[in-house]
């Protein structure tokens, strides 16, 4: 994949925006949970990693709904 003539070498990445909401079950400290998340892609950006110099495509997701599986 290319962006403005440059090869996207850092691969696709994702940023998930914060979500606050209610869940159906109580959770305990150190419990591992599996979540089902519904999110909308709100932005797509291309950024250069300052350490590696690799160009990555970053997808920003805004969470709409969370369910404990």
Read off the pLDDT of residues 17-48 as tens digits, 9 standing for 90 and up.
888 988 888 999 999 999 999 999 999 999 99
Exposure string (b/e) for 5-27, b if CB count within 10 Å is 16 or more? Answer: eeeeebeeeeeeeeeeeeeeeee
Q: Where are the domains of the chain?
A: 2-18+30-68
Residue 57: which pLDDT band, with cuts at 50, 70 and 90? very high
CB atoms within 10 A of CB 55: 19
Per-residue pLDDT, 60: 96
- Residue 6, pLDDT > 90, answer no
Question: Taking the complete model, does pTM exceed 0.85, yes or no?
Answer: no
CA distance 29 to 51: 35
């Amino acid at each position: 994949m290319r962006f403005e003539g440059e090869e996207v070498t850092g691969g696709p990445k994702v940023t998930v925006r914060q979500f606050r909401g209610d869940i159906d079950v109580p959770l305990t400290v150190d419990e591992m949970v599996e979540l089902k998340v519904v999110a909308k892609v709100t932005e797509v950006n291309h950024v250069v990693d300052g350490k590696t110099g690799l160009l990555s495509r970053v997808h920003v997701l805004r969470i709409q709904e969370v369910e404990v599986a």
